[in-house]
Amino acid sequence: MEFSLKGALKKHRRMRSWREGLVLAALPISFGVSWFFDFGRTDTLIAAAIACVFAGFGQLEIRLKTVQVRLAGMDDKLHQLTRDEHDSADENLVLELTDW
């Protein structure tokens, strides 16, 4: 599926909001699961700790993806400045935005 820059930005925003929502929902889900299965205090703390680790890695992944997108944009601008032969001016940026 071929994307334009505008379509790729729209898809990137949508996927990022879904990921952020799922990452932030990890802690309430862990408490809900531990309450539903009637875990003890220690098991609930373990579930909450695992949810916090999951949320931390999720936020880290989102930030790393942001850095990748920024670097792809800089690479495209560098190719425009050096007048390299490219098919599209925003080729790398579109590829990074649609890579989920």
CA distance 71 to 74: 5
Model confidence over 61-95: pLDDT tens digits? 989 988 988 888 888 888 888 876 655 667 777 77
71: phi then psi, degrees, rounded to nearest 5? -65, -35
C-alpha angle 29-33-39 in degrees, rounded to nearest 5: 135
For residue 60, what pLDDT is reported?
Answer: 93
pTM over 0.75: no
Q: Which residue has the tokens 């408490």?
A: 31
Number of domains in the chain: 1
For residue 53, what pLDDT is reported?
Answer: 92
Model confidence over 10-51: pLDDT tens digits? 888 888 899 889 888 888 888 888 888 888 888 888 988 998
Answer yes or no: is pLDDT of 1 > 60. Answer: no
Q: Which domain holds residue 32?
A: 5-97
